[in-house]
Amino acid sequence: MRDSLETPSVFEGVTVRDAITVIRTLEKAELRTEPHIRRVFSRSGQGFDAALGFLVSVGVVNRSEGGLSLSTDLPDDAEKVCCVWLLSAILRVHNKYRTEIFRYLRKYRVDEGDLVYEAAVDCRSRESAVRNFLMELGIVELSDEGSRHRVSRDYISLYAQAVDAGRNLSPASFAESLVCKDALGLTAEKAVVSYERDRLGMGLADYVDHVSLRNAAAGYDIRSISLSNVREKIPRYIEVKAVSTESVSFYWTRNEIAVAKKLGDFYFLYLVPISATGAVDVSCIHIIPNPHKAVLQSKDEWITESDVIRCFTRGQHNAFGVKQHG
């Protein structure tokens, strides 16, 4: 599937306001037939069909011959709480709305610490429905320049989830490829998980997530947080590399490099020294913020090589002369 919005947006006619109005109407109604709910809704809005179709698709409203019902109740009237709740409903299961949100967010790129995107002229109208929906949710906002949009810092993890969605492989499947996690790598990752939990303390330890155990193609191994001077929780995406205590060298896949470039200052490389006996020296972990810039663009400090070539046979026989079937 091409990473574009060439077909009409599934968000056409859908607004957060209308969706919440439908839910509130259902909560208060004694008669929950679709015609009745439509009539009540029409007193305050016009997008009933689009809003109802959206809510049914994401599993918030159940539609049957007997009428409409809510699968779960909306939280209190606080606007931000309702928006977070609605986003959670969209992300809970695979649906066409989640797919389009992820596809749109993958267009954003890191620029001076912000995730920004400026749509080409011919894309603006086509993307306006999903963009406006995300702006209502507080996920996307207009940047200071006015012509670009940016992802709110509160939702950087959603952007990372969108990037991951296109390459979500199980560890078992990923192990069959040329780039796989070996025992030393897993040891290093577990050491970093413990290191991060100790760094953050018991109160924040739950923010440390060992992502690679369930998604080995995410482009990073661990999700954690950084704390600003005012204790703001800033996402931290960590790629772990087990390195020798004798020399610091490691392999970096194209996927990891691409994610590092996209996440910029939110991405960290943790080089974990492991001795010949397999012992991990946590006290000597080398942490590199924004390694795409610090490593790949720092020729004075790092030497990079890109001459690894994948080779495989063209014919029906493998390298050992055994005929391949199928």
CATH class of residue range 172-294: alpha beta
Structural element, H or E, at residue 234: strand 233-244
For residue 6, what pLDDT is reported? 56
For residue 38, what pLDDT is reported? 92
For residue 179, what pLDDT is reported? 37
For residue 114, what pLDDT is reported? 77
SS3 track for 156-202: HHHHHHHHHHCCCCCHHHHCCCCCCCCHHHHHHHHHHHHHHHHHHCH
Spans of the chain below 70 pLDDT: 1-6, 77-78, 112-113, 145-146, 166-183, 247, 276-278, 305-326
Phi/psi-derived region of residue 11, left when phi > 0, alpha when psi is between -120 and 50, beta in every other case: alpha
Domain ranges in the chain? 16-155, 172-294
C-alpha distances in angstroms, 29 versus 20, 25, 78, 215? 14, 6, 21, 43
For residue 160, what pLDDT is reported? 78
- Can you tell me whether residue 323 is helix, strand or coil? strand
Tokens matching residue 23: 């839910």
**What's 27's DSSP letter?**
H
For residue 309, what pLDDT is reported? 54
Quickly tell me which residue has 């391949």 as its tokens.
324
Among 294, 298, 293, 248, which residue's Cα sits nearest to residue 273? Answer: 248
Among 111, 255, 100, which residue's Cα sits nearest to residue 162? Answer: 100
